[in-house]
Chain A
Amino acid sequence: MNAHDIAQYAMQKLQETGAQQYACQAHTSAKREFNVDGGKFSLLRTTIDNQLDLTLIKDQKRGKILINAFNQEAVDEAVRDCLAAAEGSAADPAWELVPGAQRKFILGAPDGDMDQLFARTQEMLAAIGQEYPKVMVEQMIVAHQRSEGIYLNNLGASYETVEGLYEAQVMFSGHDGDRSSSFNFAAVVTDQLDKPFLDQGSMRQNLADAEKQIDTVATEGKFVGAVVFTPDCAGDVLGELLGNFVGDGVILDGTSPWKDRLGEQVADQRLTLSAAPHHPAIVCGERYVADGYLSEDYDIIKNGRLNQFMLSGYVANKTGKKRAPNSSFSLVMQPGDQPLHDIIAGIDRGLLVSRFSGGSPASNGDFSGVAKNSFLIEKGKITNAVSETMISGNLAEMVNHLRGISSEFVRNGYSRLPWFAVDGITISGK
């Protein structure tokens, strides 16, 4: 059975359970993937998979089942399991599906050009060898993925999707004899093969930096200084900030320090951060949410004010707050008006941090971890690469001690972020 037929069959069986609300998503996917290991081609992989996701709410009790078999017998069993899961659960009026629209979405590049993709993969591997001779490719994965399917709920939502994208990710390190840099990586997703992967996202920057990070100095002592986060690292750091302060879990259990600060200034007024799956920089962004509504872009923080929590419909109902207009993590940050060079020129002592390896931040936002693939900034200039250097601070304080946001930004298909610099970070070494 194809995805549409299996979805229709599943909806019929869900209706027979007597559930008041139910939904079904059925998708098929096909992926072709080239692997490179240790700098050499190693594998070509073709995977065909299905996903059938069933949700039902009966007497305010919810069950959810995911299977990958597309046949009637498997669906019958899954619907029975879904009902049993719901009946074993506790009644909670916060669970709900919502009425939706009927749409069809064709996104990205559903029909991949595998010959061209292989050519781009060969080209990238050769170019890294020629242009970055001290870089060793630990692993490279280049793939095309196609997905096709439908979402249905019993309140009228019907969303058909056909989408496809190319992805390229590479993990590497710099080497000179027995000396090596820390590993780093870069990744892009795109729906076009019109330009080399190497010219996209942060590929070239990170590869060039790896060669400069073979020889490092250990930071001496401890000082409070400025830190400039690269766009790759900014995505990770902002992800921690959002998870800790505006996400479902911390709002539901009331541990977010920002739980009562909607509409208030929580960050420097230059900070505007959005979840924007429709933004032109985002490839195959989310078009609907599994509760049944269409996704819309929104600002999480606008000009430093907390504009919207990132809440699911369930937690919104549970807490009386507004649900987020999408469930994506397609982060788009508004660039600043200063070139990166000028921001760095104004820093007397600090770090340029490309990767952060840290523990999960504490509930209050305290964080600490190792600054990886990073450089010292001294008297306005980037100097030595560093090793064994830790940074610590507080996420909430950090976004209030903004030094600057660069006018340049990196778009890699899943986010669009600039460099940003903050003051007041504790930097410690040996």
Chain B
Amino acid sequence: MLTDIVTKYRDAFAPGAATELRAQRNLSRRVVLRAGSITQNQRTDTKGIGARVYQDGVYGFASAADLSDDAVRAVLKSATDNAAFMARHAGRGTGPLPAIASGQRPADADFADLPQTAYIDCLQALDSYIQQKYPGLESRTLVSSADSMEKLLLTSDGYTSHILAPRSYIYVMLTAKGKDGAPVEVFEPLGGSGTFDRHFADPAALYPAVDRLYEMVMQKAEGVYADAGVKTVIMAGELAGMLAHEAVGHTVEADLVLGGSVAGPNLHKQVASPLVSMTDFAHTAFGQAAPLPVYVDDEGVLAEDAVLIENGILKGYMHNRQSAQHFEARPQGNARAWLFSDEPLIRMRNTAVHPGKDKLDDMIASVEDGYYLLHTGNGQADTTGEFMFGITMGYEIKHGKLGRAIRDTTISGVAFEMLKTVDMVSDTVSWGSSGFCGKKQPMPVGLGGPELKCRVTIGGR
């Protein structure tokens, strides 16, 4: 655990300027086992100190790869000088930031930094299982990946905090030969928040998930290409979460609203079916811990939920302190930084569509000709809300019943139009948290939702 070298420096903050001082350590592990060979076996340990100073509507930031008193003094001076330079040349005359609540968030429980063999051994056991049970696969790739952020934060007027946030995953990728001879792939991340041993103490516990994935890749090998066009689909929770994050979430980040996103002119308007509600949860969602809880952000703001869409009406944006001042809103803990050398940006935390009342079976039964879309490989969206998700696993729905698997395809739509077509929402939420959101800096995020029945454009041949 980091030794506290920041709290004694409160008196060194420039008078009247909002200042954040953050000591941080990021640890990561990555082992890749591709076709039985360890192609990556790496540990990364990054630590340092960063400071940000607000003056007259602009910021100065500085960081150093050193956790020493000299480094603290140097980054505070450099950040203050940078803020003064920006204020001199580009000050906005907006005055000080509105006050926020102050307090203390004590240290979370420490966690064990496991030896590299823990990551290697688990993968090798899993690989051995796959190789022996499914020798007909074209290829298999297993990745164990763990990362953690530890932050010691001192702010001039908000919360001080000591946060530890580890997460751990195993990614399983299976490749089979399709009926046309071309390879087909499926992919699934396993794991979540917490250390590697919490999720993967027993490799045998993962075998059922691998068996399900094998079944999928063999179905996909016999699969068909989707029929291109606008179709009725049922998006699984993984895709609903991607939609919440990529297609809606980014457009309601206040910095992107100021940059011209589609959410600007749509505040308080109907942007979705009344069946759709969406929230960026801080640490607790639907009565349970959110996948990647955030209690205090990197501006020292105590985190609370940000309601984005309520019964189809766009209700609000996600803010940092500065954008909250601009929009006369309350910051809710969305300002986060990835490394010690990064400044806090407006980021999502655990963004999800709320569950409805429908049963998945009834939803499938209601589709005459469409698709059930299960897994996505990636997703991108525009500030206009136009989105694209790669679909890596899905099935036809014909006459209310699941049919053949489909090959890789892409779906697209415009969020605030497509969400108006939602006419059924399932009663079960599923979450994902294995990815990084990319917005200048990477950031771990949680995303989730129930199954949604809606209309989207699907690509095909």
Which residues of chain A are within 8 angstroms of B378 by Cβ–Cβ distance? 359-360
Stretch at the interface among A10-18, A134-142, A298-306, A325-333: A134-142
CB neighbors of A among B209-243 (8 A): 228-230
Any B CB within 8 A of the CB of A253: yes
Q: Which of A37, A257, A366 contacts B407 (CB 8 A)?
A: A366
CB distance A92 to B38 under 8 Å? yes
Q: Is B389 in contact with A88, judged by CB distance below 8 angstroms?
A: no
Which one of B13-21, B302-310, B352-360, B379-387 is at the A interface? B379-387
Give the residue of B407, B410, B440 whose beta carbon is less than 8 angstroms from that of A141. B440
Interface residues of A in 66-111 (CB under 8 A from B): 66-70, 78, 81, 84-90, 92, 94
B294: chain A residues within 8 A (beta carbon)? none
Contact (Cβ within 8 A) B45 A78: yes
Q: Counting CB contacts under 8 A, is A407 at the interface?
A: no
Q: A81 to B39, alpha carbons, bound, how many Å?
A: 18
Contact residues, A217-260 vs B (CB, 8 A): 222, 248-249, 252-255, 257
Closest to A77 in B: B45
Report A-chain residues with C-beta under 8 Å of the C-beta of B341.
47, 49
B388 close to A45 (CB less than 8 A): no
Per-residue 0/1 for B141-166: is the Cβ within 8 Å of any A Cβ (1 yes, 0 no)? 10000000000000000000000000
| Residues of A contacting B333 in the complex (Cβ-Cβ under 8 angstroms) | none
Interchain CA distance A171-B260 in the complex, whole Å? 11
A428 touches B343 (CB 8 A): no
* Residue of chain B at shortest CB distance from A46: B62
Q: How far is the CB of A267 from chain B (nearest CB, A)?
A: 19
Q: With A43-B60, A66-B42, A363-B175 in contact, is A428–B260 under 8 Å at CB?
A: no
User: In the bound complex, do residue B37 and residue A62 qualify as a contact, i.e. CB atoms below 8 Å apart?
Assistant: no
Among B37, B63, B256, B378, residue most surrounded by chain A Cβ atoms (within 10 Å) = B37
With A362-B407, A388-B457 as contacts: A222 and B258 at CB distance below 8 Å: no
- Residues in B whose Cβ lies below 8 Å from that of A181: 384
Inside 8 A of B288's CB, which chain A residues have their CB?
Answer: none
Question: Is A50 an interface residue, CB under 8 A from the partner?
Answer: yes
Find the residue from B34, B85, B116, B460 having the highest chain A CB count within 10 A.
B116
B182 at the interface (CB under 8 A from A): yes
Asked if residues B117 and A84 are in contact (CB atoms below 8 Å), the reply is yes
Cα–Cα, bound, A272→B121 (Å): 44
Q: Which of B78, B185, B255, B377 is close to A46, meaning CB atoms less than 8 Å apart?
A: B78
Interchain CB contact under 8 A, B184 and A38? no
A68 to B27, CA, bound (A): 11
B61-A43 in contact (CB<8A):
yes
- Is A384's beta carbon under 8 Å from chain B? no
Chain B residue nearest to A66 (CB atoms) is B44
Shortest Cβ gap from B370 to chain A (Å): 16
A 27-58 to B, binary, CB cutoff 8 A, 1 in contact else 0: 00000000001111111111111100000000
> Any chain B CB within 8 A of the CB of A287?
no
Q: Number of residues in A with C-beta < 8 Å to the partner? A: 79
- Which residue in B64, B139, B440 is a CB contact (below 8 Å) of A48? B64
Contact with B along A353-385 (1 / 0, CB 8 A): 000011111111010111010000000000000
Contact (Cβ within 8 A) B138 A254:
yes
Q: What residues on A are CB-neighbors of B178 within 8 Å?
A: 364
Chain B residue numbers with a CB within 8 Å of A46 are 61-63, 78-79, 82
Do A44 and B86 touch across chains, with their CB atoms under 8 A apart? yes
Q: Restricting to B408-425, which residues have a CB under 8 Å from any CB of A?
A: 408-410, 412-414
Q: Are B43 and A85 in contact (CB under 8 A)?
A: yes
List the B side residues contacting A428 at CB < 8 Å.
228-229, 457, 459
Contact A64 B256 (CB under 8 A): no
**Once the chains bind, are B45 and A67 in contact (CB under 8 Å)?**
yes
> Measured between C-beta atoms, what is the minimum distance from A47 to chain B in Å?
4
- A90 and B124 in contact (CB under 8 A), knowing A67-B44, A85-B43, A173-B383? yes
What residues on A are CB-neighbors of B47 within 8 Å? 68-69
C-alpha spacing A88/B92, complex, angstroms:
56
Task: State whether the Cβ of B46 lies closer than 8 Å to any Cβ in chain A.
Answer: yes
Tell me the bound Cα distance from A171 to B250 in angstroms. 14
Contact A65–B260 (Cβ < 8 Å): no
C-alpha gap A90/B38 in the complex (Å): 7
* Cβ B410 vs Cβ A370 within 8 A: yes
Q: Which residues of A contact B391 (CB under 8 A)?
A: 359
In the complex, the chain B residue whose C-beta lies closest to that of A34 is B86
Are B410 and A84 closer than 8 Å at their CB atoms?
no
Q: Are B377 and A138 in touch, CB under 8 angstroms? A: no
Q: Is A277 an interface residue (CB 8 A)?
A: no
Most buried by B among A66, A70, A88, A136: A88
Verify B34–A63 contact, CB threshold 8 A: no
Chain B positions within 8 Å of A315 at CB level: 39
Contact B262 A430 (CB under 8 A): no
Among the listed A81, A118, A368, A388, which residue makes an inter-chain contact with B410, where contact means beta carbons less than 8 Å apart? A368
Check if A63 sits within 8 Å of B41, measured CB to CB: yes
Does A252 lie within 8 Å of B39, measured CB to CB? yes
Give the residues in chain A near B83, CB-CB below 8 Å: 44
> Does any Cβ of B come within 8 Å of A182's Cβ?
yes
Question: Does A175 count as interface, using CB distance less than 8 angstroms?
Answer: yes
Q: Assess whether A138 is in contact with B35, with CB atoms less than 8 Å apart.
A: no
* Interface hits, B73-114 → A, CB 8 Å: 78-79, 82-83, 85-86, 89-90, 92
A132 at the A/B interface (Cβ < 8 Å)?
no
CB distance from B37 to the nearest CB of A (A): 6
A64 to B28, CA, bound (A): 12
Per-position 1/0 for B35-69, Cβ under 8 A of A: 10111111111111000000000111111111000
In the bound complex, residues from chain A placing their C-beta under 8 Å from that of B138 are 253-255
Known contacts A138-B259, A182-B383, A368-B459; is A49 also within 8 Å of B45 by CB? no
Residue B400 interfacial (CB < 8 Å): no
B37, B260, B412, B413 — most chain A CB neighbours (10 Å): B260
**Are B34 and A249 within 8 A (Cβ)?**
yes
Least CB distance from A197 to B in Å reads: 18
Determine whether B437 belongs to the interface, using a CB cutoff of 8 Å to chain A.
no
Q: Which residue on A lies nearest to B177, using beta carbons?
A: A255
Pair A85/B45 contact, Cβ less than 8 Å: no
CB–CB A392/B461 < 8 A: yes
Q: Is B115 an interface residue (CB 8 A)?
A: yes
A183 contacts chain B at the CB level, 8 A cutoff: yes
Complex: A370 Cα to B457 Cα, angstroms: 10
Determine if A158 is an interface residue (Cβ-Cβ < 8 Å).
Answer: no
CB-based contact B43/A66 at 8 Å: yes
Q: How far is the CA of A87 from the CA of B41 in the complex (A)?
A: 11
Chain B nearest CB, measured from A170 CB (Å): 11
* CB proximity to A under 8 Å, residues B360-394: 376-378, 380, 382-384, 386, 388-392
A195 to B287, CA, bound (A): 58
Known: A88-B115, A360-B377. A38 touches B121 (CB 8 A): no
CB contact between A65 and one of B43, B59, B90 (< 8 Å): that residue: B43
* Chain B residue contacts of A372, Cβ below 8 A: 382, 386
Taking a contact as CB atoms under 8 Å apart, the answer to whether A42 and B59 are in contact is yes
- A residues in contact with B34, CB < 8 Å: 249, 252-253
What is the CB-to-nearest-CB distance from A323 to chain B, in angstroms, rounded to a whole number? 14
CA–CA, A85 and B47, complex, Å: 21
Interface contact A38-B259, CB-CB below 8 Å: yes
The residue of chain B having its C-beta at the shortest distance from the C-beta of A82 within the complex is: B43
Residues of A within 8 A of B265 (CB): 178
Q: Which chain A positions have C-beta within 8 A of B384? A: 173, 180-183
CA distance A182 to B385 in the complex (A): 9
21 A-B pairs whose Cβ atoms sit less than 8 Å apart in the complex: A44-B82, A44-B83, A46-B63, A46-B78, A47-B61, A66-B46, A88-B117, A136-B260, A181-B384, A182-B384, A253-B35, A253-B175, A314-B39, A359-B378, A359-B408, A360-B378, A362-B408, A369-B412, A372-B386, A428-B229, A430-B457
Given contacts A49-B48, A89-B120, A363-B182, 15 further A-B contacts (CB under 8 A): A38-B259, A44-B59, A45-B62, A65-B45, A69-B66, A118-B89, A173-B383, A175-B260, A180-B384, A252-B34, A358-B390, A360-B377, A360-B390, A368-B410, A388-B414
Cβ-closest 4 pairs across A and B = A359-B390, A138-B259, A88-B117, A368-B459
